[in-house]
Amino acid sequence: MGMEKERLWNPQYVALMVANIFAYFGFFMVSTMLIPYLTGDGVGLGDEAAGVIVGMFAITALVSRPFCGMMADRFNKIWLVRIATLLMAAGTFGYGLSKALPFIVLARVLHGVGFAINGTTLISLITQYVPRSKLGEGLGYFGLANVIASATAPGFGAILAEQIGMEKVFWIAGLMCAGEIVLLVAVKYPGVKRAVTQKVSSVRIKDMVVVEALGYTCVSSTLSFSNGIVTAYLVPYGEELGIANISLYFTFNALAMFLSRPLAGKLMDKKGLYVVALPGMAITSASMFLFAVAGKFPEGMFAAIMISSVLKALGQGAAQPSLQAASIKKAGKERSGSATSTFYLGGDIGQGIAPMIAGVIVGNAVTSLQGYVSSFYLTAVLIALAMLGLVFIYFHEKKESRG
């Protein structure tokens, strides 16, 4: 296809980017609605049961990841995305179709599997249309779908729910998933060209996990760990400190991320991974430290937390897409699906275990506030240690290139 000579903003790339926005917008619209819907009068579940059903999404996605990457490398990517989108649409429509618990559980599983396949395959697919010299920039822009959706979709969904009811919000989100299929019509895909398709029946560990990318994945998982900590404990932390409008943290974070990701991607393409990722991780670690000590500034607590939000977005927006691009480059385009699923697997684990570890810390602390602060300090230290790990990878790669 001669992609190395093509521009970044080609029709296929644009269509896939808009399709990604549709997928994430539908996801975030549903995410904020599901707990109130399940615990409301219609379904009537308790908080624990509702939490289990919501959590099934992450578990389903986590189990699916390795197989998603292998399928993305072996089969026609466009058809995989179409199937994934149908599963997502079926799951999203399913939430509002019936209030019977087995039906809702099935819808949640379908949504989780579809979302995992969709996210992994789309990233693998865009590598076919992005010049290798612009991979960092391409992934940086592509990741903005998550930023745009997370900043706007929850509020939009909440407004719609008040006006037309939650069931209809699920239908609208389902239609957005279906809209992704329409956009995929604009993508011209040459089909599967790999010789590996001859052994579709054989499944090996190395087809599901890219060992060469594990170093970058482990480093990046600490950044996802910080997401899990902040998402779970931002609101109770704000309550303990007596800060109103603490949720503005996410707004500032999204705005800063919107600016940082594409710029960092361009810089990564020009200067390399380590010039971007190491300072990015240092800034992210510092942001979590500032987040932990915000309570020591009575007159400036809100400002400190908002500055922390911006710093976290700038640092993470630089480091994480760069690490992802490096993982895909390490594996090569032929294994881009497995590289993507390996990278996402680390993110799923990091974000998943963070609230659990923090829960143990908070549960054993003298006060809840002390537990939150300790958890944030721990996160800052983990990211700093991961930065040292990245330095080790750098010197190891340098040694290998010499010898």
Mean pLDDT of the 127-146 span: 79
Q: How confident is the model at residue 207 (pLDDT cuts 50, 70, 90)?
A: low
Tens digits of residue pLDDT in 366-380: 898 999 999 999 999
Mean pLDDT of the 307-331 span: 89
Q: From CA 188, how far away is CA 179, in angstroms rounded?
A: 17
The two three-digit tokens of residue 338, written as one number: 């497995």
Q: What percent of the chain has pLDDT over 90?
A: 20
Greater confidence (294 vs 271) lies with 294
Is residue 12's pLDDT more than 60?
yes
Backbone phi and psi for residue 275, each to the nearest 5 degrees, phi listed first: -65, -30
Mean pLDDT of the 328-354 span: 79
The two three-digit tokens of residue 188, written as one number: 């011209």
Whether 315 and 282 have beta carbons less than 8 Å apart is answered as: yes
Question: Residue for token digits 């990211």?
Answer: 383
Of the ranges 80-84, 298-302, 303-307, which is most confident? 303-307
Backbone phi and psi for residue 299, each to the nearest 5 degrees, phi listed first: -85, -15
Is residue 203's pLDDT more than 60?
no
Tens digits of residue pLDDT in 218-265: 999 999 899 888 877 887 888 899 988 887 888 888 888 888 887 887
Mean pLDDT of the 208-213 span: 76
Greater confidence (322 vs 153) lies with 322
Mean pLDDT of the 309-317 span: 93
Is residue 164's pLDDT more than 80?
yes
Rounded to the nearest integer, the mean pLDDT of the chain is 82
Torsion, CA 305, CA 311, CA 314, CA 318, rounded to 10: -120
Kindly report the CA angle at 124 between 123 and 127, in degrees rounded to 5? 90
C-alpha distances (whole Å) from 388 to each of 45, 57, 218, 219 are 46, 33, 12, 9
